[in-house]
Structure 1
Amino acid sequence: MTILEGDSGLIVIDPVTSIETAKAAIELYRQHRGTREVRAVFDRTDAGDPGQDRNPCDRRY
């Protein structure tokens, strides 16, 4: 997972595979860099298991 700081918020590249882990990563980032809204998510990984029901744009980030 890569987090870029844009002018209007964060850009997340290749988020991790679970919402819980992604949320923990964003919280760790915010502890050290401050609160910024996630504005874009780019997931360059394979779709994986179609039954996994993963949404990288989930607002719980």
Structure 2
Amino acid sequence: MILSLMIGTFSSSLPILLSTLGRIFFLMIFSTISGTQEMTRGLISANDWAMILGVGMRVRK
């Protein structure tokens, strides 16, 4: 009984979970593509480019 309830709850929330993950991946890919385009136009500094790729760390001055 409890197992069937858990499976029913999971199957009903699965589309929402997939939609949320899809939205997150879309935003990650879109922001990387947008950053690449701006970098090739010279609108982003090398430090910001590192932040877009996730290899840099922003430090407050």
Larger RCO of the pair (alpha carbons < 8 Å, separation 6+) = 1
Give the structure with the larger helix fraction.
2
* TM-score (normalised: structure 1): 0.32
Give the structure with the larger strand fraction.
1
